[in-house]
Structure 1
Amino acid sequence: MSRKLFIGARLRRLREQAGLNQGAMASRLGISLSYVCQLENNQRPVTAAVLLKLVEVFDCDIAEFSEEQDKRLLGELMALCRDRELIGENIAPAQLARIVEQTPEAASALVNLAERHHRLQEEYAQLLDRVYGDQLATPLAVLPHEAVRDYFNRRNNYIDALDVAAEALATELGLRPGERSAVLRAALLERQRVAVRVIDAGAEGILRRFNPRRMQLEIAAGLSDAQQAFQLATQWALIEHREMIDAEIAAAGLDDEQCSGLARQGLAHYFAGAVLLPYGDFLAAANASRYDLESLQRRFAVGFETVCHRLSTLQRSGARGVPFYLVRVDQAGNISKRQSATAFHFARHGGACPLWHVHEAFTRPGKILTQLAEMPDGTRFFGIARTISRGGGAFRAPRKLFAVGLGCDLSHAQQLVYADGHDLAAPRDVALIGPGCRVCPRNDCVQRAFPPAGRPLSTGVDVESLVSYRFESDAL
């Protein structure tokens, strides 16, 4: 491990949940009692060998010990404390860090409570629209897509059982880039008795449609070999690995019908991406090319977004790639996909930071842009962004345009070919971005769209500047 990892509170919770004292824990792990005491009191960092032993003995997910999850939770808690409508006090970052370290469940519950508060506020606004306009109110329950997105983030966007099964299938079938769809089609017919038929997608834009009664799978005409293979592998997962997917959904507690439906689709898509880009081969190629996205596109005959998505999943224990965040944004700034194996704190309300280079990508279509960015807590990231498009093929065919952003902690940037030429040790051009205007603490941002919630504003009219909102001196 490149960084020291302290797991005191998490180790103590694991021991208590197992009903063990420190001596029994030491015996299970094959280490001394004093070492267990030192680990639980954060006097020594955990070694890779002990961490792997914990995973083996207690059958837990190594992601539970990831400090990146704690960093994400700390970022959300800090943003929450800046919202004076909810907290109204300047809590020292060190105190918040102790809360996350010692009682992460309580910290997570507080963040979830704030989420519910924001949804209540949004519901109230929608109710007013219903009374005075024609917009219908939405339910107060957690939005299904957010629940599923949070589930993948909790898993560091890596699902081991599906990933291993996908890699095994790709190896068994001998799948080769550019020649995958025919092999998968034959396998579906032979093993699942599913016949595949190519159809005209028409105005509906259908990519895949399965008729379980006829055991017939329809695939849209005009898809590339990789796109066809992705849809075929998705259907394979939904049939062959249904029990595995259902077990993942049950373990995640996604029992709502809409949540479970979106999760099932997301997990099937995860499997399909892992079939096209088998973990071992893809990780080796990524390291060899220094994460050159276009080189990986050619090597595996897939699209730009597919490569970016797969790079954000390379978190297998003992064979990790660079931990990335991934985001997909439309031209209005709406984030339609966000997942992260880093501490990057995405905006949950009010849109993403306009200074983030993912928005600039729309002004330079098809060109890869780079950016060194710093969050308000001082954490720095190196990111790339580029536009992608989907659909089309005819004058009136539906077409979609997005910008995809991929980034990592600055400490990993030297592994990326895109960082060549940047002075990573002492960068001169660093974009000061934030988690979104609603919770961003920066006082002097000229791009701010609206003030942070609950922040007292200076209402004097004798001074005017490029900064749209000025704050009282006692503001957070």
Structure 2
Amino acid sequence: MKRKIYAGAAIRDLREARGLTQIDLARRIGVSSSYMSQIETNQRSLSGTVIVELARVLRVDVSAFSSDDNIRLAATLREVLGDPVFSGLDIPLQELRNAALHAPKLGRALIDLHRVYRKVEEKYRSLDDALRATEGNFGSRQSAFEEVRDFFHFIGNYVDSLDRAAEALSSRIAEGPDSLLNRLSCYLETNYHISVSRISPSDGTSFVSNLDRARRVLLLNDTLPRATLAFAVARHLAILAFSDAIEAVVADASFQGTDAGAVCTAALANYFAGALLMPYARFAEEARRTRHDVERLAARFGVSIEQVCHRLSTLQRPGNEGVPMYFLRVDRAGNITKRHSATRLQFARYGGACPIWNIHEAFEAPDRFLVQIAEMPDGDQYLSVAHAITKGGGRFDSVRLRYAVGFGCELAHANEFVYSDVIDARNPRAVVKIGISCRLCDRSDCPQRAIPPFDKGIDVNPDSRNIVPYQLKDIRS
């Protein structure tokens, strides 16, 4: 079906710019004044003949009356109104299209206002971050996930009470000829009278586990990897056996957000599961012995590569600390879905990570571990390792989630990682200069820059063009 074209606002602006009245324009293109009024109020679409006549009289190209601008404007408004600051607004797409069609200047003004708001907000959030770093308190504007992430960051991503409890429980679930999943299932049934049943969803449902307390049955999705199912059983054990300890940690955190407690409870159950499957002393010893080879550690403990990477970032037990590491997980859109750093490396709190960091390249080489020497703007250098992972699957029609995990350490500790064997730290050409994010990075020579830093101006020289079409400059007050 041919799309109807409405361009009332554009026609009105062009007419007024040329000093024509509605009657004048109607007469020149051969239509009635009432017809012209209906065109400018978008009550009538434009025919091919009218478009040609309007282009001739107003001396513009026919593309000036395309409705593509309205479609793009509606899409941009939809993205802007997705900002959490507009939470509670549920504006239908058709209403946004009407706004773009009938009030495009108002729509663009809203977009410009939101752009200014985000710029100011980012500036003050950076100040908030600096204040939190010195005062150790949490901001009131954080989401529940951000507040919980900051909680784990400030405690060094290590929870001693749960870690030691998980280690003690692991010693009771002794190693044997049976699989880890079966040993955990047997312990759950023996001590809590909950049987474990594996089912294969007939419709490709993506659930992992479901505890039916009334029937005392824990259902597991049998199409998923055994490492995923073992982690799921361990997570339910955490809630069943150590809910009081978890609640005590949550209470001590004194979260400000109403949902942060529930988010933290789930995160602590996951933390316990990781500590149960990879008990601290044995895991730390194996990590040192294998030089942090995550594939060997995953095989040794019967867990996934992501679980190993996450566990390595928690080895902060006083007196038996592991190498200070960073860990993050990103999706294909560049969103950081997990992050922790026991190093000085900082992640972007909002938006994606630096585009030249090797974690983005990992999606292009899913069977490889990518190794990079990454240098931050402050001069600190890191051994940076990235690897793509796929979660889910097990059948043709099941949901598959694709992520990339990144981990590493300051270059001074690089020799403790097997991945350093493939780099030459003495070669300056091997160093890749990255940043936190484009908005927070003031490197003036980065060819991958997407947008200027929020605190810098730009200088565009019409006589010179580089890969990035502007130069950065300080904003003078």
Q: TM-score, normalised by structure 1?
A: 0.70
The CA deviation string for residues 374-397 of structure 1, in whole angstroms up to 9 with x for no partner, is: 111111111110111011122211
The alpha-carbon distance between structure 1 residues 324 and 351, as it changes in their structure 2 partners (threshold 3 A), is same
The one-letter amino acid of 2:184's match is L
Q: Which residue of 2 aligns with 1:190?
A: 190
- Indicate yes or no: 2:179 matched with 1:167: no
1:2-17 equivalence runs, <5 A: none
Q: Which residue of 2 aligns with 1:298?
A: 299
Measured in 2, the distance between the counterparts of 1:475 and 1:428 equals 35
The 8 Å contact of residues 349 and 438 in structure 1, kept in 2 or not, is answered as no
1:144-159 equivalence runs, <5 A: 144-159=144-159
The 8 Å contact of residues 179 and 225 in structure 1, kept in 2 or not, is answered as no
The one-letter amino acid of 1:189's match is E
Measured in 2, the distance between the counterparts of 1:87 and 1:437 equals 12
Q: Which residue of 2 aligns with 1:417?
A: 418
The one-letter amino acid of 2:406's match is G
- Of all paired residues, the percent bearing the same amino acid is 39
Q: Which residue of 2 aligns with 1:317?
A: 318
RMSD (CA atoms) = 2.7
1:414 is displaced (CA, Å) by: 1.2
Measured in 2, the distance between the counterparts of 1:88 and 1:198 equals 51
Q: Which residue of 2 aligns with 1:282?
A: 283
The 8 Å contact of residues 327 and 405 in structure 1, kept in 2 or not, is answered as yes
The 8 Å contact of residues 178 and 226 in structure 1, kept in 2 or not, is answered as no
The 8 Å contact of residues 284 and 315 in structure 2, kept in 1 or not, is answered as yes
Measured in 2, the distance between the counterparts of 1:256 and 1:84 equals 24
The alpha-carbon distance between structure 1 residues 415 and 448, as it changes in their structure 2 partners (threshold 3 A), is same
1:70-89 equivalence runs, <5 A: 85=120
The alpha-carbon distance between structure 1 residues 281 and 244, as it changes in their structure 2 partners (threshold 3 A), is same
1:18-417 equivalence runs, <5 A: 85=120, 106=134, 141-175=141-175, 179-201=179-201, 202-254=203-255, 256-417=257-418
1:243 is displaced (CA, Å) by: 0.5
SS of the residue corresponding to residue 456 of structure 2 reads coil
The 8 Å contact of residues 362 and 403 in structure 1, kept in 2 or not, is answered as yes
1:353 is displaced (CA, Å) by: 0.4
SS of the residue corresponding to residue 407 of structure 2 reads strand
Measured in 2, the distance between the counterparts of 1:461 and 1:178 equals 71
Over alpha carbons, which structure has the higher Rg? Answer: 2
Measured in 2, the distance between the counterparts of 1:469 and 1:218 equals 57
The 8 Å contact of residues 224 and 392 in structure 2, kept in 1 or not, is answered as no
Q: Which has the higher contact order (CA 8 A, sep 6+)?
A: 1
> Number of residues paired by the alignment?
357
Measured in 2, the distance between the counterparts of 1:88 and 1:229 equals 44
The one-letter amino acid of 1:442's match is R
1:250 is displaced (CA, Å) by: 0.9
The 8 Å contact of residues 210 and 219 in structure 2, kept in 1 or not, is answered as yes
Measured in 1, the distance between the counterparts of 2:200 and 2:254 equals 38
Measured in 1, the distance between the counterparts of 2:263 and 2:344 equals 25
The 8 Å contact of residues 184 and 232 in structure 1, kept in 2 or not, is answered as yes
The alpha-carbon distance between structure 1 residues 335 and 105, as it changes in their structure 2 partners (threshold 3 A), is closer
The one-letter amino acid of 2:189's match is L
The alpha-carbon distance between structure 1 residues 86 and 238, as it changes in their structure 2 partners (threshold 3 A), is closer
- Structure 2 residue runs of 5 or longer lacking an equivalent are 1-117
Measured in 2, the distance between the counterparts of 1:173 and 1:233 equals 11
